[in-house]
Amino acid sequence: MQFFVGNDKTCVIMMSLGNVQLRNNLIMAPMAGVTDRFFRSVVWEKGAGLTVSEMISAKSIVYANKNTYKLLANDADIRPWSVQFFGHEPEILSEAIKRLEESPFDIVDINMGCPMPKIVKNGEGAALMTNPTLAGKMIEAAVNASSRPVTVKIRKGFTAATANAVEMARVAQESGAAAVAVHGRTRDQYYAGEADWNAIAEVKSAIKIPVIGNGDIFTPEMALQRLTESKCDALLIARGALGNPWLFSRTLELMQTGNLPPPPTHAEIIETALQHLHAVENCIEMRKHICWYTKGMHGSAEIRRKINNTKSIPEMKQIITPFLTPPICSA
C-alpha cells in the first residue's frame, strides 16, 4: 500500500511494507560496521523512514553468539526498523527468526546482495543470485517462520553476463516477500562503476510488490530523479548518508515542497559529530565517521591525518571542536 503527497505520483512520501507503516519511502541501507545503534538514531532523527541493522548471521543467532546479539540493540523510539539476516540454509534461517520472535523489531530482511568474498564463498549474500531455487526456499522459510513482513535485498546479478534481477525478484514475490530492494550493480562490480537504474526499472515493471532502488544516491536531486525515472516505490540510501545524514531531511523537503533546503553548516555537522562521539565512545570505530563528517571542510586532509592517529575520544573531541566556529577570512 502506498500513499502520495500532492499531484505528482512519482514520489511516494509514505508507504507500508506488509502490515508495517513507514513514515516515508527513504530507507537507510544496512552497512556492516556502520549502521550500528547510534548511527541508526542519527539518520532517524534526520528523517529516514526506516533503518536496518548491520548484517546478522542466522547461524550465529542459532548458536547464541553474544557479539551477534549485541547487533540487535536499538533505541525503543526508533520504529519501525528492520533486521537483516544472511545465511544459506533455510532451516537455520527459519530457526533464527523463530528465536527472535519476541525481539522488538518490525521487518525481516534477507541479504542476497553482499559481494564480500568471505560471505560469497559460503554460498551466502550475492552467491544466492546464482541459485534462484535455493533463494526461493530461503525466502519461503523466512516467511513461514516470521510474523513480520519479509523483504529481500538483491543485486542486478552476479555478473553482467548472468544478470538475473528480474528472475530473482519474481522468485521473491512468488515466495511471499513483501518487497525487494535492488542494487543496480553486479556482484563482480562490488561498488565500482555506475549503478544501472534501468535494471531497477525493469524489476519494477515486472513485479507487483514494492521495489526499493539502491545505488549512487548522493544528493536530493539525484534521489528525486531516480524515483521519477525508475518509478520504484522507495530508495535505499547507503554511502550517500555517510557523514551526511541530512541527505534524508533535505530529500524529503525537496519531494514534499519542490524546494531544496541548504546543506548543513559546518557547525551543525561538527555538533552532530560530537554527539556521535559522546554516544559511541569508541575511538577506533569513530575514526571513519569523523573523516566522513569533515570531508570537504577546509583542512579536512589534516583532520583525517590527526584523527587516524588519535588514541582517545577526548583527543578526537579536541581536534574537531575548533571547527564549530569557522575561521574568519581577512579582507
The pLDDT of residue 12 is 60
For residues 316 and 286, is the Cβ–Cβ distance under 8 A? yes
Q: Read off the pTM.
A: 0.92
Q: How far apart are CA 72 and CA 49, in angstroms?
A: 19
Catalytic residue among 11, 114, 232, 291: 114
The pLDDT of residue 159 is 97
The pLDDT of residue 10 is 53
Residue 80: asked if its preceding bond is cis (omega within 30°), the reply is: yes
The Cα-based distances of 23 to 74, 99, 234, 235, 298 in angstroms read 18, 28, 12, 13, 36
| Residues of the chain falling short of pLDDT 70 | 1-12, 326-331
Residue 283 annotated as catalytic:
no
The Cα-based distances of 180 to 149, 154, 190, 207 in angstroms read 11, 7, 19, 10
Where are the alpha helices (H) located in 146-280, listed in sequence order?
165-174, 197-206, 220-230, 246-257, 266-280
The pLDDT of residue 326 is 57
Give per-residue pLDDT as tens, 225-236. 999 999 999 999
The pLDDT of residue 331 is 40
The pLDDT of residue 158 is 98
